[in-house]
Structure 1
Amino acid sequence: MIKGTFTFCLSAALVSSALLTGAAQAADKFVAVTAIVEHPALDAVRDGVKEGLAKEGFEEGKNLKWKYQSAQGNTGTAAQIARQFIGERPDAIVAIATPSAQAVVAATKTIPVVYSAVTDPIAAQLVKSMDASGANVTGVSDELVLEKQIELIRQVVPQAKRVGMVYNPGEANSSVVVKRLKELLPKSGMTLVEASAPRSVDVGTAARSLAGKVDVIYTNTDNNVVSAYEALVKVGNESKIPLVASDTDSVKRGAIAALGINYKDLGVQTGTIVARILKGEKPGSIASETSKTLELFVNPGAAEKQGVTLSEDFVKSAKVVVK
């Protein structure tokens, strides 16, 4: 009788344990993350998202299933990843950079989508306005005030008249910036000279086409350009063309200066929004956000290589001076 009672209790305990384990697994949240390509800024966003989730109580290996995939710069791959993620039914999909965000938003109207590092989510047709969308999409934009970028160009190259820009015309982020710069630069006595780089491998060739035609090259957060920034730096150093960026990591790689967003912080901000959704809020009730904090990075060594002398006050004003 005692043996039978023990067996019954053991069985009951095992069943109870299994049920508890199942309940714990059922309580886990699943976040799928994709980026159009891997480069320092987008990688920082990805890591920031994970950090933001952890701060809100969602940790991988404890109560969070985390999956990440890069499209390696290919929009077709981005669409494949979007379809794959949707089939796996995550609680939320984080899409980093415009092409990946467009692919995911086009593929689902039900699964919550949180975009990040998208310059103009309205032009990219992710949302109709920065207000709460009422749909399954929200996120964080990395849009910069271009007037401040123009001021930076003037600080680095005071006599600049012709500003070159290498970009991918197929990326909505970049096309919006080009259009806006064409409107703004003439007000400061400058003009824009464009060079197309539809693929990362085209960046060096596009940069070389600007030699002798421009006084400075400005780069936004175009993913093709940022992923191949060393090719741009090579041309800048060889041709003595100053490089000014909007991505602060590009300064560490050879740009003279950048006034940009801290992309790790942008990721944390994005992760906080994802956590709100995991806790029950609807993405359509959460307004899109932007980052208001800008940081100045300066690289005096790059300035010397590219034929520019920076003022002492300008260098001292930087948050980070790259040695």
Structure 2
Amino acid sequence: MKRLLGLLLCVALAMTACSSGSDSSGASAEKPLQIGIAQIVDHPSLNALRDGFIEAMTAAGYVEGKDVVYDLKNAAGDQVTLTNIASSFTDKDLVVAIATPTAITLAQALPNTPLFFAGVTDPVGAGLVDSLDAPGGMITGTSDMPPIADQLALIKEITPDAATIGLLYTSGEVNSQIQARMVAEAAPALGLSVREATVTASSEVRQGAESLTGVDCYFVGTDNTIISGVEALVAVAEERKVPLYVSDPDSIDRGAMAALAVDYHAQGVQTGQMAAQFLADGGKPGDIPVAVAKDLQVSLNLQAAERMGVTIPQSVIDTAVKVVR
């Protein structure tokens, strides 16, 4: 009898093991992938990067809640919060860092976790990767390096009499510091001079804009802090009848006049595709070259142009992918 009971117990255990290891569809019973996604602030372009990443992962077969669980975090522009977010991601299988400050913080805190960044202006200059072709380590991603010379050329095309640019940027953002240097280097070739004002938080945007007196236009690069509070800059531009040029296409809907920028949703999709390929092939993220955005789009707000005292040439309007009338 004891031998029979022992035999029956073994059979039952074997059947339990088989049923828990797979189902009739052959789906794996492994735990879902844990992915942490962090961004420095909440604004439409960064949200588009996040949504594009998730969209690409879904297209690659990662069903949310079944194959993958996303932990979405927003630092609301606060570095202490961003550091705490990085600490909370230590158990993730993969992390996504949206924008330069986020990528720097996560890379420092999680050197052994696969990290894919998006919306990073100059990953080499920020010390994130060894080179674009061979990033090295556990990190790679996509860059939104703006075409500064082309952006300044657009300023001259729309407002040919412009002589002085009012450049507003965040002193604590490495990406913004890099772009400020690029603007200063490129401006003289187009007959432009540059006046700068810096801020440390979005609450200072209006004050910074007001300090830039005697300028012919305002220009903002891919600066997360300024863009998160761009309405304050728009208000000053309208009051002074000074056109506002930006590097963020979604700011057009918020009152900026013109932008020459990358498609941030498309860049988010590209980042997700890179992550999905890494998960399929293995290896290290640092073996995957950084992808730099090539397709640039002109976006215009004709209502904003009127409020800022500018008539945009039809030749420029004809090239725009987005026009707010």
Q: Same fold (TM over 0.5)?
A: yes
Structure 2 Cα separation of the partners of residues 155 and 59 of structure 1: 47
Structure 2 Cα separation of the partners of residues 98 and 284 of structure 1: 17
Query: How far is 1:24 from its partner?
Result: 3.2
Query: How far is 1:172 from its partner?
Result: 0.5
Structure 2 Cα separation of the partners of residues 200 and 47 of structure 1: 24
Query: How far is 1:157 from its partner?
Result: 1.4
- 1:199 maps to 201
> What amino acid is aligned across from residue 183 of structure 2 in structure 1?
L
Within 5 Å, give how 1:58-69 maps onto structure 2.
58-69=62-73
Cα deviations by residue, 1:41-72 (Å, 9 ceiling, x for unpaired): 00000000001111222221231121110111
> What amino acid is aligned across from residue 233 of structure 2 in structure 1?
L
Contact 2:21 2:29 in 1 (8 A): no
Equivalent in 128, 146, 166 of residue 148 of structure 2: 146
- 1:255 maps to 256
> What amino acid is aligned across from residue 151 of structure 2 in structure 1?
Q
Cα deviations by residue, 1:103-142 (Å, 9 ceiling, x for unpaired): 0111122111111100011111101211222311111000
> What amino acid is aligned across from residue 111 of structure 1 in structure 2?
T
Contact 2:129 2:136 in 1 (8 A): no
Query: How far is 1:11 from its partner?
Result: 6.7
Within 5 Å, give how 1:223-234 maps onto structure 2.
223-234=224-235
Query: How far is 1:9 from its partner?
Result: 7.3
- 1:80 maps to 84
SS of 2:89's equivalent in the other structure is helix
Cα deviations by residue, 1:144-200 (Å, 9 ceiling, x for unpaired): 221100111112211111101111011011000111111110111111111111101
Contact 1:131 1:288 in 2 (8 A): yes
- 1:57 maps to 61
Structure 2 Cα separation of the partners of residues 49 and 181 of structure 1: 30
The total of aligned residue pairs comes to: 317
> What amino acid is aligned across from residue 261 of structure 1 in structure 2?
V
Within 5 Å, give how 1:34-113 maps onto structure 2.
34-86=38-90, 88=91, 90-113=92-115
Within 5 Å, give how 1:144-183 maps onto structure 2.
144-183=146-185
> What amino acid is aligned across from residue 67 of structure 1 in structure 2?
D
> What amino acid is aligned across from residue 141 of structure 1 in structure 2?
S
Query: How far is 1:27 from its partner?
Result: 5.3
Contact 1:91 1:278 in 2 (8 A): no
Contact 1:220 1:246 in 2 (8 A): yes
- 1:268 maps to 269
Structure 2 Cα separation of the partners of residues 67 and 143 of structure 1: 27
Question: For structure 1, which runs of at least 5 residues remain unmatched after alignment?
Answer: none
Normalised by the size of structure 2, how large is the TM-score? 0.92
Equivalent in 299, 317, 320 of residue 319 of structure 2: 317
Contact 1:29 1:278 in 2 (8 A): no
Contact 1:30 1:92 in 2 (8 A): yes
CA RMSD between the two structures: 2.0
Contact 2:75 2:82 in 1 (8 A): yes
Normalised by the size of structure 1, how large is the TM-score? 0.93
Question: For structure 2, which runs of at least 5 residues remain unmatched after alignment?
Answer: none
> What amino acid is aligned across from residue 250 of structure 1 in structure 2?
S
SS of 2:72's equivalent in the other structure is strand
Within 5 Å, give how 1:279-294 maps onto structure 2.
279=280, 280-294=282-296
Structure 1 Cα separation of the partners of residues 78 and 68 of structure 2: 28
Query: How far is 1:284 from its partner?
Result: 1.8
SS of 1:93's equivalent in the other structure is strand
Query: How far is 1:7 from its partner?
Result: 9.7
SS of 2:22's equivalent in the other structure is helix
> What amino acid is aligned across from residue 271 of structure 2 in structure 1?
T
Identity of aligned residues (%): 38
Contact 1:140 1:270 in 2 (8 A): yes
- Using a 3 Å threshold, how does the CA distance of structure 1 residues 54 and 281 change in structure 2: closer, same or farther? farther
